[in-house]
Copies of this chain bind each other. A is one copy, B any other.
Amino acid sequence: MALLHEDRLLPVDPGVRALAHELYDMVKDAPIISPHGHTDPRWFALNEAFPDPAQLFVTPDHYVFRMLHSQGVPLEALGVPRADGGATQTDGRKIWHLFAQNYHLFRATPSRIWLDYAFETIFGFTERLSAETADLYYDRISQALQRPEMRPRALFEQFNIEVIATTESPLDDLKWHRMIRESGWGGRVITAYRPDPVVDPDFEGFAGNVETFCQLGGQSGTSFAAYLDAHRDRRAYFASFGATATDHGHPTAQTLNLDAAAAQALYDKVLSGKADAKEREAFRAQMLTEMAKLSCEDGLVMQLHPGSARNHSDPVQARFGRDKGYDIPTRTDYVSALKPLLDAVGQDPDLRVILFTLDETTYARELAPLAGVYPCLRLGPAWWFHDSFEGMWRYREMTTETAGFYNTVGFNDDTRAYLSIPARHDVARRVDAGFLATLVATGRLTEEEAPEVMHDLTHRLARQAYKL
């Protein structure tokens, strides 16, 4: 007995499945390229053991705790820290029991596939997690976490990671990255430049962030030009720690291209704290275009992740703070939103912008047509809630015919759940193998071409798109 089905996620028709399996087998052991994610560089710097099973699998994973919470489990009972420092569950075994008792909630979800993959391949479980097996799981995982081969660097090698990118604020001194570099360890862990805290006037502490940022960037003035120079400086600093990309988590994809005077006035306004919602949005929009212009200068690949209404519940945010599973996708426009940026620099051969979406209706209608014509645009993989079997399948079905494969960038795991990384890449490889096999079986690709495309989707496109 096993947790994992040998042919999972492959097409059901026996002939197509056999072909898909062949394609999958070609890449299943290929190195992992992880150009976008949120692992903690501290793990690789300090290489300490992970804490208990609940702290590894439940409390920090918003996919997991949001599902339990949706069925009435209080976040406190899962050990999610309160903003006021009030008491929450600290007994890992109790949290684990709650998780195990409710493991049926994850049936047919990607979380279940990721978790079972880790449970089976890393910890050797063959019986599914449940109320009955909860302690068995807890004990075995707890013991395993003490072993040297379960330390972050050992797992990095076991996972066959060729390169992994973390994401840092421009205010970050990158000390963990420095420690990794100076440690002499050979794992390639790079950073990415995520300027939201100094670009989004709605970010907490924005004005103070900008002040600190300008100082860090060696700028004394208060002009918009000085602020942009600080970006130039920090981007170069990040690049010196391996960064090849920037990342932008805006609520919308809106861009603007104001003239210098208008941009300066807007900058002054948002720093004054008196800007209204429209002006704050305008500043974010302007900054996307500025970032694109800087990308034309320094070659950093720009990633745009718009469309999440974050921290949707005021009471939950008040009680637990940001990022507690209450981020909800919203309808997102790209066609008119990106026009100012694209008119400004969209024909520049040195620009590359990777677009992501949480609004699948834009795949066939907006994103594939845009990426299928603008030389600077590429499509990021199915993102967040869509990082799943069905999500990836819809992505391929709705983008390939108009954008082709070569305007896409391979897979991103986008995760802070370190142990799920191999599982996530495995899912992507299986979906792609199944998709390509289906194309072959229906005469849209030949059996001779499919292996090349399989390798492209698994590793080549990610390396090329992210300049790795």
- Which residues from chain A sit less than 8 Å from chain B, CB to CB? 4-16, 66-67, 69-72, 104-110, 112-113, 128, 309, 312-316, 325-331, 333, 335-336, 339, 342-343, 346-347, 349, 358-361, 364-366, 368-375, 377, 385-386, 388-391, 397-398, 400-407, 438-439, 441-446, 449, 453
Give the top 10 A-B pairs by smallest Cβ distance, nearest first: A5-B443, A8-B443, A66-B373, A388-B401, A314-B343, A329-B365, A12-B13, A12-B441, A328-B369, A72-B375
A139 to B313, CA, bound (A): 60
Q: Copies per complex? A: 3
Q: A313-B347, A439-B108 are in contact. Are A444 and B113 (CB under 8 A)?
A: yes
- Beyond A7-B443, A108-B401, 10 extra complex contacts between A and B, CB < 8 Å: A9-B443, A12-B13, A12-B15, A67-B373, A70-B403, A312-B335, A312-B339, A328-B335, A328-B366, A329-B366
Among B325, B365, B405, B407, the residue within 8 A (CB) of A108 is B405
Q: Are A71 and B13 in contact (CB under 8 A)?
A: no
Among B390, B405, B442, the residue within 8 A (CB) of A8 is B442
Q: Are A361 and B365 in contact (CB under 8 A)?
A: yes
14 contacts between A and B (CB under 8 A): A6-B443, A8-B443, A12-B13, A104-B406, A108-B404, A109-B401, A128-B446, A312-B370, A313-B343, A313-B347, A314-B343, A326-B373, A329-B365, A331-B361
Q: How far is the CB of A380 from chain B (nearest CB, A)?
A: 16
Q: How far is the CB of A289 from chain B (nearest CB, A)?
A: 14
Q: Are B107 and A373 in contact (CB under 8 A)?
A: no
Q: A107-B445, A443-B9 are in contact. Are A365 and B72 (CB under 8 A)?
A: no
- Which B-chain residue is minimally distant from A453 (CB atoms)? B107
Query: Which residues of B lie under 8 Å from residue A327 when comparing CB positions?
Result: 369
Considering residues A71, A359, A365, A374, which has the most beta carbons from chain B within 10 angstroms of its beta carbon?
Answer: A365
Q: A388-B401, A401-B388 are in contact. Are A70 and B336 (CB under 8 A)?
A: no
- Which B-chain residue is minimally distant from A106 (CB atoms)? B404
Q: A105-B404, A391-B401, A397-B390 are in contact. Are A330 and B335 (CB under 8 A)?
A: yes
Q: Are A375 and B71 in contact (CB under 8 A)?
A: yes
Query: Which residues of B lie under 8 Å from residue A405 when comparing CB positions?
Result: 107-108
Query: Which residues of B lie under 8 Å from residue A441 when comparing CB positions?
Result: 12
Q: Are B108 and A445 in contact (CB under 8 A)?
A: yes
Query: Which residues of B lie under 8 Å from residue A329 when comparing CB positions?
Result: 335, 365-366, 369
Query: Which residues of B lie under 8 Å from residue A445 when comparing CB positions?
Result: 107-108
A32 to B376, CA, bound (A): 40
Query: Which residues of B lie under 8 Å from residue A72 when comparing CB positions?
Result: 349, 375
A325 to B370, CA, bound (A): 10
Query: Which residues of B lie under 8 Å from residue A326 when comparing CB positions?
Result: 373
Query: Which residues of B lie under 8 Å from residue A316 when comparing CB positions?
Result: 347
- Which B-chain residue is minimally distant from A386 (CB atoms)? B364
Q: Are A69 and B442 in contact (CB under 8 A)?
A: no
A224 to B402, CA, bound (A): 42
Q: A15-B12, A313-B346, A443-B7 are in contact. Are A398 and B407 (CB under 8 A)?
A: no
Q: Are B331 and A9 in contact (CB under 8 A)?
A: no
Query: Which residues of B lie under 8 Å from residue A70 when comparing CB positions?
Result: 371-375, 377, 403, 407
- Which B-chain residue is minimally distant from A385 (CB atoms)? B402
A343 to B319, CA, bound (A): 13
- Which B-chain residue is minimally distant from A365 (CB atoms)? B329
- Which B-chain residue is minimally distant from A333 (CB atoms)? B331
Q: Are B346 and A315 in contact (CB under 8 A)?
A: yes
Query: Which residues of B lie under 8 Å from residue A309 when comparing CB positions?
Result: 335-336
Among B15, B330, B407, B439, the residue within 8 A (CB) of A71 is B407
- Which B-chain residue is minimally distant from A346 (CB atoms)? B313
A441 to B443, CA, bound (A): 22
Considering residues A16, A439, A443, which has the most beta carbons from chain B within 10 angstroms of its beta carbon?
Answer: A443
Q: How far is the CB of A267 from chain B (nearest CB, A)?
A: 25
Q: Are B386 and A108 in contact (CB under 8 A)?
A: no
A110 to B403, CA, bound (A): 11
